[in-house]
Amino acid sequence: MTTTVSASPDAPTAALAPLKLLIAAPRGFCAGVDRAIEIVERALDRYGQPVFVRHEIVHNRYVVDGLKEKGAIFVEELDEVPDGSPVVFSAHGVPKTIPATATERGLDWLDATCPLVSKVHRQAERHVEAGRHILFVGHKGHPEVIGTMGQVPDGAITLVETLEDVAALAFPEGTPLAFLTQTTLSVDDTREIVAALRARFPEISGPRAEDICYATSNRQAAVKAIAERCDLLLVIGAPNSSNSLRLVEVAEREGTKARLIQRSSEIDPAWLEGVETLGLTAGASAPEVLVREVIDRLREWRAVEEETVTTTVEKMVFKLPRQLTE
């Protein structure tokens, strides 16, 4: 636990009561995001500018803009990548057809898929090989869901988003089934859906624990640890970042008002009226520099007493692709 008291000497409202700021830890970048960003940076060093990236490498505008300044070009589809250009696939994973097409075109491609997402991909393949139909718990349209569902043949996987979806499933008795989950879901919501799946289909196969990644679970646990003490909690993250949105939901489920922001400029000082204790965290795609930016912004309005609340220490590191280490 770390406590720091600071205030801007020119703060016009410095006479107001100090703001207690509880900063969740762990927060921000996870090992998969660190790895994905480093892959793009090393690819730029190896190949020179430009390096193309299919889809946002991670869901954070600050990170994407920073890589653009270094020479990365972001595209949505592979056909936007010129022949002979290097291309990186995002941390969320891609359907099997994408690297296959890249190989057919002779493109130099690098896969920045988070290894924990790749693990789910391999599980999906094994279930299909074993003749099981997969029930995949996730959010429709999310890049990770698209990538995972694209690992298996059409018709071999069904998306499940809610308890109502579970109730509506209709499979003949004896159908071999398995379940997998998106890695960035709400731990609590997913537990309920998995329990419902097991209740409806007692013979269903699945992982010993849901596939929600360590970083998602840890950040949600850290929010739970501070939410009860907060009048308001700010989550730094993008509106298309699943893990960031789940942090807002976790706080609200604990009875604490929460707001998602991308940058400090989005904070309305009116939000702080009546707030004595403010919580602060960041999604797995948000860099620490944005956390400090928010704190500096808060100091313009109030004296700030910082307290870091640590629930666990993360030491996970993922290896880079072989092409970048040889």
Supply the residues annotated as catalytic: 144
Both tokens of 96, joined, read 């099997």
**What are the residue ranges of helices labelled H in the chain?**
31-47, 61-70, 97-104, 115-129, 143-149, 163-168, 187-200, 214-227, 242-253, 288-299
159 exposure class (CB count in 10 Å sphere: 0-12, 13-18, 19+): middle
CA–CA separation, 301 and 298 (whole Å): 6
Could you give the count of Cα atoms lying within 13 Å of 44 in the half-sphere of its Cβ? 17
In sequence order, the 6+-apart residues with CB closer than 8 A to the CB of 12 are: 301
SS3 139: coil
